Amino acid sequence: MDITMLTQIDHAKNGTVTPEMQYVAKKEGMDENTVLSRVAEGSLVIMVRDGCPPTAIGKGASTKINVNLGTSAASINPASELQKAAIAEKYGADTITDLSMGGSISRIRKSIFENTTLPITTVPIYQAIVEKGLKTVTEDDIISYLRLQVEEGVSSVVLHCVDKKMLETVKGSGRVMGMVSKGGSFTSVFMLTNDCDNPYLNNFEEVLDILREKDVVLSLGNTMRSGCIHDPRDPAQLMEMQTNANLANLANKAGVQVIIEGMGGHVAASAIPEFVELYKSTSPHPLFVAGPLPTDVALGYDHIAGAVGASMATGAGADYLCYITPSEHLALPTPDQVREGLVAFKIAAHIGDSIKYGISEKDRLLAERRASFDWEGQMELAFDSDRPRDICPMVGPCSMCGEYCAIQIMGEYLEGKE
């Protein structure tokens, strides 16, 4: 076997610490051998991209955030998508998923590649559907578009491995919101139109070969997720959770790294921790959640409801968060809404990590600078230092208290100087 063909998981199984493992070990404050053994067991994934820094997602790594962007059939503005990619990079996204379905999809993807160093994920069936038709696309088309996007250099692809049994189970289940996964719906429509099995599962060995060759991470999509908190965990979801865990093991054995998309969408707050724990007890693979939203009524503010759900999910063990913007359920986000959603999820990941790993020294440093009225030093530690700078002029007395500052008037006594 050609050494250049080995994936991170192959190297890990062989006991070889790769430069990528060294890089993420340093970045995450982990031991190299811990990284190696976790990559080998599939609990830690390293997303690689030619010429760009690798990104670790999973056990022991800080919680990562994905930013979705891309055109839709109803809204095509490639320049705006590039702006979103720039904002994602500026405000600390870890990965970008290009979900473009409008305009020249390949050209848009290419320009996003050229304008960011973050790993890029795609859902290949989107482009297949747009360019070949929802009812006319073939299995060959679906596999060809997967191959095309892998060859272009994506770091990860989302494949929805929904099967006939899941579709039978969810049919007539009385869910309020039915099926809300777009990629899952496309895959399902293909199966129903052609009365066939899942195109990826029908060709699973070939799919794994394609991914293996470029060490592309397989992200197992979440077709059966709930679309509202009144649609609770149901048999279709549990079936998909188990199927994805089995597929992940097969992929890992074939040298393909795997992330499991799960739970996301809409989940009642009280059900979030146990649901995450159920996933983690079913599979060691990194768990990727969208939100989740613990309420459906936060219209226009779903980034805030999502940040609450994501903090809870992260605290319970989720590894990787798909951000939600204020325009969720309403429209494609503007670049500024991408920023709002991303920063909300940076906060959620940070809070969740404080539960997973203990509170951060960054918080202590900020408090020390706050106590000493070091405004500029505080700004340096903010996730988005532009916004506090806009709010606070940092000249003269603070407009909150003016001369009546509690910290100031009690400071000397508390330090024992009085």
Within 74-133, the residues that bind its own copies by CB under 8 A are 74-75, 101-102, 129-130
CA distances from 327 to 13, 71, 84, 304 (A): 43, 14, 14, 11
Out of 59, 315, 318, 322, the residue judged to bind its own copies by CB under 8 A: 315
Nearer to its own copies, 284 or 315 (CB): 315
Q: Which stretch binds its own copies (CB under 8 A): 36-44, 108-116, 207-215, 341-349?
A: 341-349
Site for its own copies in 255-274 (CB under 8 A): 266, 268-270
Least distance (Å) between residue 327 CB and its own copies: 5
Q: Which stretch binds its own copies (CB under 8 A): 1-9, 10-18, 55-63, 168-176?
A: 168-176
The 285-304 site mask, x for binding its own copies (CB under 8 A), equals ---------xxxxxxxx-xx
Number of residues engaging its own copies in binding (CB under 8 A)? 111
Nearer to its own copies, 153 or 291 (CB): 291
CA triplet 143, 145, 149: central angle to 5 degrees? 120
Q: Which residues pair with 159 in a beta bridge?
A: 220
Out of 5, 107, 362, 376, the residue judged to bind its own copies by CB under 8 A: 362
Peptide bond into 19 cis (omega under 30): no
Least distance (Å) between residue 142 CB and its own copies: 15
Nearer to its own copies, 185 or 283 (CB): 185
In angstroms, rounded to a whole number, what is the distance separating the alpha carbons of residues 295 and 302?
9
Site for its own copies in 169-228 (CB under 8 A): 170-173, 175-182, 184-186, 188-189, 192, 227-228
Q: Copy the structure tokens of residue 352.
A: 């969740």
Asked whether 159 and 218 are in contact (CB, 8 A), the reply is: yes
CA distances from 229 to 175, 225, 271, 374, 410 (A): 10, 11, 10, 44, 47
Asked whether 338 and 84 are in contact (CB, 8 A), the reply is: yes
Q: Does the footprint of its own copies cover residue 388 (CB under 8 A)?
A: yes
| 3 state DSSP class of 158 | strand
